[in-house]
A and B are shown apart, each in its own frame.
Chain A
């Protein structure tokens, strides 16, 4: 998840992916998912709120246009499974919406916007554990910015983006925000 809100002020950061780059990355990820899965059978896409959900929906649209059949899409809120739940005030829950056929024996593809420490994905794996037993779980992210704190890696990556820890990666998506972009905001400048 892209946890950092935009700082106040005119610093809007450097755009690393624009709307067309994001569209191309999602198209490639969709084809990679199909190639890896040898088709769309038994696939379930679960977006992690908030911005993983529209990404999962876009990937599903692309898969449907290539394969001709719709892939179930849902969302998976991981708030209660986070390891920092106790460190911050109680947070509002987001939607968990599991497709009607469930996830048992399906190939679940988790979709998120930014892969950073890996802690969100660990929480998502725990959440999946309470929902069923998928045949396999894979991970698709729009941006991998590095700095993993857990042994977790993505199967499908839109863009590898080497960053320093003081930088902030911000993903905006049409539907949640007003436009599609990935921006990088630098270290605190005087």
Chain B
């Protein structure tokens, strides 16, 4: 049986908690002198990135290498993709090279799904961000970060269900954010209450069917939140005018020192990166004690190791959506 991680909805509560628990064990590897485990020796992981990415690609690469897998990086720029090769032909090439897992980022929503279900490749497919659709490993690393700060632990192990009832505010360009969509699905699965805060123009059509609350008023939401997740305004995906000026957006939906002062003492500030300082978040907030933005990157490696291990480590995958 071949399984994939294409959407945060592929993970039920038990699966998600298994990934996070595994990540908790693997997180400690970062503190050891030899950051290497033999679990994926002889397996090949291909990073197939059609869109620019720094931290996600490096994070997947570090995760695969720490598990002793062989990593092949395949970026659109400088490859045959820029000569007009199709996704199908690229996939067939990867298949011929014997990839065990393909980590794919693509500008088109649904490209990883196409790759997984087309019969072009036999490997497991991990979605590393597709268009404005989903980014499940980012949601997993956000959930993992939330567990470490807001959940409880029991002798180093995460206590299942300890995000139950926690309030998470996701603020900013929800419309173009695959991070917001994956987080809304996963955090709901884990029992947290998600509130999306954005101007009406930056909320997707049909957001009423998502398992979340929505609000246009950031100042009303902040005092109740246990964590605030700021999203980047994705100007590269914007074709029309979604707000009058960046300055006005920043005044109404940016997190600055004044707004940060209204948060509860335990509330943490998160950002999936890359940040635009001065737009959705000010420098003093990004560099404050509440900010866990750098820790999110460290946690990302552990979570991606957990996903790769659970998909590839045994004779068959332990998590993920079935074919």
> Which of these, B18, B34, B155, contacts A130 with CB under 8 Å?
B34
- A20 interfacial by beta-carbon distance below 8 Å: no
Q: How far is the CA of A139 from the CA of B26 in the complex (A)?
A: 26
Q: Are B311 and A90 in contact (CB under 8 A)?
A: yes
Interface secondary structure of A, over-half rule: loop
Return the CB mask of A88-109 against B: 1 if under 8 Å, else 0: 1111111111000000000000
Give chain B interface residues in 2-30, CB to chain A under 8 Å: 18, 21-22, 25-26, 28
Q: How far is the CA of A97 from the CA of B25 in the complex (A)?
A: 9
Q: Are A130 and B314 in contact (CB under 8 A)?
A: no
A-B contact pairs, 12 of them (CB 8 A): A80-B37, A80-B39, A80-B309, A80-B313, A86-B315, A88-B315, A90-B309, A90-B318, A93-B25, A96-B28, A130-B36, A130-B37
Instruction: Write out the residue numbers on chain B whose beta carbons fall within 8 Å of the beta carbon of A85.
Output: 39, 313-314
- B208 interfacial by beta-carbon distance below 8 Å: no
Q: Are B21 and A92 in contact (CB under 8 A)?
A: yes
Q: Are B37 and A89 in contact (CB under 8 A)?
A: no
Instruction: Write out the residue numbers on chain A whose beta carbons fall within 8 Å of the beta carbon of B22.
Output: 92-93
A-B pairs, top 4 by smallest CB distance, nearest first, are A90-B314, A90-B318, A90-B313, A80-B39
Q: Are B316 and A89 in contact (CB under 8 A)?
A: yes
Interface size class of B (residues with CB under 8 A): 20 to 34
Instruction: Write out the residue numbers on chain B whose beta carbons fall within 8 Å of the beta carbon of A86.
Output: 314-315
Give chain B interface residues in 28-69, CB to chain A under 8 Å: 28, 32-34, 36-39
- B157 interfacial by beta-carbon distance below 8 Å: yes
Instruction: Write out the residue numbers on chain B whose beta carbons fall within 8 Å of the beta carbon of A3.
Output: none
Instruction: Write out the residue numbers on chain A whose beta carbons fall within 8 Å of the beta carbon of B26.
Output: 93
Give chain A interface residues in 60-92, CB to chain B under 8 Å: 77, 80-81, 85-92
- A39 interfacial by beta-carbon distance below 8 Å: no
Q: Are A87 and B156 in contact (CB under 8 A)?
A: no
Q: How far is the CA of A80 from the CA of B28 in the complex (A)?
A: 14
Task: Return A105 CB to nearest CB of chain B, in Å.
Answer: 14
Give chain B interface residues in 86-124, CB to chain A under 8 Å: none
- A152 interfacial by beta-carbon distance below 8 Å: no
B residues touching A (Cβ–Cβ < 8 Å)?
18, 21-22, 25-26, 28, 32-34, 36-39, 155-157, 309-318
Instruction: Write out the residue numbers on chain B whose beta carbons fall within 8 Å of the beta carbon of A93.
Output: 21-22, 25-26
Contacts A81-B38, A126-B38: A89 and B315 contacting too (C-beta < 8 A)?
Answer: yes
Q: Are A91 and B38 in contact (CB under 8 A)?
A: no
- Count how many chain A residues have C-beta atoms less than 8 Å from C-beta atoms of the other chain: 20
Q: How far is the CA of A126 from the CA of B309 in the complex (A)?
A: 18
Instruction: Write out the residue numbers on chain B whose beta carbons fall within 8 Å of the beta carbon of A126.
Output: 38
A residues touching B (Cβ–Cβ < 8 Å)?
77, 80-81, 85-97, 126, 130-132
Instruction: Write out the residue numbers on chain A whose beta carbons fall within 8 Å of the beta carbon of B33.
Output: 132
Q: Are B317 and A90 in contact (CB under 8 A)?
A: yes
Q: Are A96 and B25 in contact (CB under 8 A)?
A: yes
Task: Return B98 CB to nearest CB of chain A, in Å.
Answer: 16
Residue of B nearest to A90 (CB): B314
Instruction: Write out the residue numbers on chain A whose beta carbons fall within 8 Å of the beta carbon of B309.
Output: 80, 90
Residue of B nearest to A80 (CB): B39
Contacts A90-B311, A126-B38, A131-B34: A97 and B156 contacting too (C-beta < 8 A)?
Answer: yes
Q: How far is the CA of A94 from the CA of B36 in the complex (A)?
A: 17
Q: How far is the CA of A86 from the CA of B32 in the complex (A)?
A: 25
Q: Are B155 and A89 in contact (CB under 8 A)?
A: no
- Beyond A90-B318, A130-B36, 12 additional contacts (C-beta under 8 Å) are A80-B39, A80-B313, A81-B38, A85-B313, A87-B314, A90-B314, A90-B316, A91-B314, A92-B318, A93-B25, A130-B37, A131-B34
Q: How far is the CA of A11 from the CA of B36 in the complex (A)?
A: 44
Q: Are A89 and B314 in contact (CB under 8 A)?
A: yes
Q: Are A87 and B315 in contact (CB under 8 A)?
A: yes
Q: How far is the CA of A89 from the CA of B315 in the complex (A)?
A: 5
Contacts A87-B315, A131-B34: A95 and B25 contacting too (C-beta < 8 A)?
Answer: yes
Q: How far is the CA of A114 from the CA of B154 in the complex (A)?
A: 27
Q: Are A88 and B34 in contact (CB under 8 A)?
A: no
Q: How far is the CA of A176 from the CA of B87 in the complex (A)?
A: 51
Residue of A nearest to B35 (CB): A130
Q: How far is the CA of A132 from the CA of B311 in the complex (A)?
A: 29
Q: How far is the CA of A159 from the CA of B22 in the complex (A)?
A: 34
